[in-house]
Amino acid sequence: MRRVRGGTENSTGRAQARSVRPIPRPPGTPVHLAFLFAGLAFLLRTVYLLESADNPFRHHLHLDPAFYDQWARSILGGQIFGPGPFLQAPLYPYFLAGAYAILGANGAGPLWIQALLGAATVFCATLVARRAWGRGGAIAAGLLLALYQPAIFYTGVLLVPVLATFLLALALVFTPSRPLLAGLCTGAAGLAHPLLLPGGLVAVLGGVWSGGSLRARWRPILFVLLGTTLAVAPATVHNLILSRSFLPIAANSGVNLYIGNGPAANGYFTPPPGLGRDEDLHGLREASRLAGRPLNAVEASRFWTARTQTGIAAHPGRVLTLFLRKVYLFFHAYEAPQVESLDFEKRYSTLLRIPLLPGWALLVALTAVAVCLRHRDRLVRTMVAATGVTALATAAFFVTGRFRFPTHLYLALAAAGGLVELGRVPRIERARWWRAMAVALVTVLIFVPNWPGIGRARTFGNTHYQLGVIAEKDGQVGDAEREYADALRYDPKHARAAINLGILTARGGDVPRAEPLLEQGVTLDPRSARGFLALGQIHQLRGDLAGACSLYARAWAADTSFVKGLESLAIAGYLSGDVARAERLARELVRRTGARDPLAARCSFLLSRMNERRRFGWPLWTSPARAEGDLALAVRDLVGAETAYSRAVQTDPRDLVAQLELARVAAARGDGATQAERISRFLSAGGSAEAAGLLR
């Protein structure tokens, strides 16, 4: 009789069943390890969200987070698909809308879901590492991803990276046996951020093509591509129906291409003049201005693409050098910010200031070690290739920390393989160990020092500027002025900080200090309509109407959507006696805003008075005093109107218009006796009874 699995076998060969207890799985099996490190990741992200709750950028959204938030709210409001093609990748706004629907329409709920997604990413990656390299690999990958500093930080930002990274990790879990699901997850990651699609496909296809000929592996490869297509197809169909153009995901590639490769490009997000402002996030308005006609989203994207192609053709060497610089910056230790700034926002978190938390440089160095020790390993090669393809796709546009963030998943998995191999190198292979250490050291020397001359101060300057905007919106003028001053201290070329500080200083009465700040601002940014407007107002206060008109005209030319500049130009023209121009501009303002718009109130009043004066054959303009009276009466400043009209009458006692308007002021105050007296003066000066009847 011999023993067989699950019982014994007698001489006849029949198995005798016996009752046995299942042997429990020892601790440290894949699921246990995955849950352990996922729990650690969630704990750290919970601590971060709680301790950094006072971070002002979490409560005052701007640029992309504000755009995503508004988009999500419009989805909840019934605009499920929107009126046109998607301006940005659509998955994250729909994710936000779902979070708002479940947890309430506030910015805190999605952050807790992102904390769960971050933990789920660690769970998935630990399973992938355990499948490739056993327990040691699972521990290495789990620790690197759970403790990775930028991953903790992005949990608290309403941006795409956390969601996109989770989808990529889920795709890797499905890769070996569920290629269709892996493709669906990869396509969904592309719907969150299109730049991730090429690298995601490399990672998944490299996983399903585990060797052998293409003929032997065509079926899983086909399923991956099919799943990716199915995931992206809804956005493509939506864009095709609403724009009649083939836009696989979104219509913002053109403007991003121009920002990354235009004349002002330096590798990071550096918006050229006229672009990057909160009110023209996708460059539609600026493209329309330059094209000389209104452009829709698709036309604007093509416009920016064409300008980029023209620039590349004119300066191919510069663009190639810039491209190589961006590839280098992709792997550099510096976390290049765009809307968010990890380096700056550490001040709101004790956890993020812990120096032992791993960052990008460590992952890059450990990946270099993995390539040195396991260059034939399929997973290492696949993860490195996916990272490289993502770097190339990103370098076609511009580099920011969040663009490269999802690739930390690939680097952590490759690094885990290298760490496992380091632990296995026997003493007789000490040369391999030292070679790996030398590779790591060289990698650190290449990518950690500030060889490219990265200006971190400029980043801090922009963040202080945003804090100034937040303080100004909250009515904290003193704090806003300090933040704008700090922005200029870090970045003396920050045009908007100079302009905003100049405006606040002028409002505070310190015009001599405000004027040079405003002049500095408009010199740095000749497209700043607000800067020219504020300078024009200073000149107008001094009585320099010609100078004010010139500056208002520059404000209007800089931004023809800035109707406040148009209104100021019309009013200044009226005060200076250029009635024909003032009337033309006033009509244009009313046409753009509507007669009931508060901004058009003074212009609407002037137009009505001009029509009345034409009816009775009176001169439209006689003196600055009468013009000042008209403008004061337009805003119901009865005291100012009476003073100005009285000056006009003193200058010319036969000014019928000023006489009539003085009677109107008395009527508005309810002073019947004064009204009657002024009507009598109006009639005795030659005014008609019909005109006097306007007061009844």
Read off the pLDDT of residues 322-381 as tens digits, 9 standing for 90 and up: 999 999 999 999 999 988 999 999 999 999 999 889 999 999 999 999 999 888 888 999
Residue 467: per-residue pLDDT: 95
Between CA 679 and CA 685 the distance in angstroms is: 10
Residue 423: per-residue pLDDT: 79
Between CA 459 and CA 73 the distance in angstroms is: 30
Among residues 446, 479, 507, which one ends one of the domains? 446
Residue 214: per-residue pLDDT: 62
Residue 20: per-residue pLDDT: 38
Indicate if the pLDDT at residue 213 is higher than 70.
Answer: no
**696 — pLDDT class (breaks 50, 70, 90):** low
Residue 276: per-residue pLDDT: 58
Among residues 446, 467, 501, which one ends one of the domains? 446
Residue 277: per-residue pLDDT: 59
**318 — pLDDT class (breaks 50, 70, 90):** very high
Q: Of 377, 375, 369, which is closest to residue 435 (Cα–Cα)?
A: 369
H or E element, residue 3: strand 2-4
Residue 12: per-residue pLDDT: 43
**608 — pLDDT class (breaks 50, 70, 90):** very high
H or E element, residue 16: strand 15-17
Residue 391's φ and ψ, nearest 5 degrees, are -65, -40
The residue-averaged pLDDT of 582-608 equals 90
Phi-psi region of 331 (alpha: psi -120 to 50; beta: other; left: phi over 0): alpha
Residue 162: per-residue pLDDT: 97
Look at 129 and 685; give whichever has higher pLDDT: 129
Residue 212: per-residue pLDDT: 57
In a domain, 516, yes or no: no
Least confident stretch, 29-33, 514-518, 607-611:
29-33
How far is CA 22 from each of CA 26, 31, 261, 566, rounded to the nearest angstrom? 12, 18, 63, 83
How far is CA 315 from each of CA 265, 319, 328, 452, rounded to the nearest angstrom? 13, 6, 20, 21
Three-class secondary structure assignment of 330-378: HHCCCCCCCCCCHHHHHHHCCHHHCCCCCCHHHHHHHHHHHHHHCCCCH
In a domain, 186, yes or no: yes
Parent domain of 642? 625-696
Read off the pLDDT of residues 648-684 as tens digits, 9 standing for 90 and up: 999 988 888 998 999 999 988 888 889 888 888 888 8
> How long, in residues, is the chain?
696
Q: Regarding beta strands 7-9 and 2-4, do their DSSP bridges make them parallel or antiparallel, or are they unpaired?
A: antiparallel
Pair 196, 168: CB distance under 8 Å: yes
Indicate if the pLDDT at residue 6 is higher than 70.
Answer: no
In a domain, 619, yes or no: no
Indicate if the pLDDT at residue 68 is higher than 80.
Answer: yes
In a domain, 65, yes or no: yes
Residue 269: per-residue pLDDT: 87
Residue 1: per-residue pLDDT: 41
**Cut 0.75: pTM above it:** yes
Provide the number of structural domains found in the chain: 2
How far is CA 335 from each of CA 117, 381, 456, rounded to the nearest angstrom? 22, 25, 10
The residue-averaged pLDDT of 459-487 equals 93
In a domain, 45, yes or no: yes
Indicate if the pLDDT at residue 270 is higher than 90.
Answer: no
Helix-strand-coil split of the chain, %, nearest 5: 70, 0, 25
The residue-averaged pLDDT of 103-114 equals 90
Indicate if the pLDDT at residue 582 is higher than 90.
Answer: yes
Least confident stretch, 126-130, 291-295, 584-588:
291-295
Between CA 508 and CA 511 the distance in angstroms is: 8
The whole-angstrom distance between residue 381's C-alpha and the CA centroid of its chain comes to 33
Q: Of 364, 335, 363, which is closest to residue 144 (Cα–Cα)?
A: 363
Among residues 381, 411, 446, which one ends one of the domains? 446
In a domain, 548, yes or no: no
**430 — pLDDT class (breaks 50, 70, 90):** confident
* Residue listed under structure tokens 């969150």: 192
Residue 320: per-residue pLDDT: 95
Provide the mean pLDDT of the chain.
89
Pair 86, 235: CB distance under 8 Å: yes
The residue-averaged pLDDT of 284-310 equals 89
Between CA 676 and CA 233 the distance in angstroms is: 77
Read off the pLDDT of residues 158-198 as tens digits, 9 standing for 90 and up: 999 999 999 999 999 999 889 999 999 999 999 999 999 99
Instruction: Please report, rounded to a whole number, the percentage of residues in the chain having pLDDT higher than 70.
Output: 93
Between CA 299 and CA 446 the distance in angstroms is: 42
Give the CATH number of the domain where residue 666 resides.
1.25.40.10
In a domain, 348, yes or no: no
**406 — pLDDT class (breaks 50, 70, 90):** very high
Between CA 617 and CA 408 the distance in angstroms is: 77
Indicate if the pLDDT at residue 547 is higher than 60.
Answer: yes
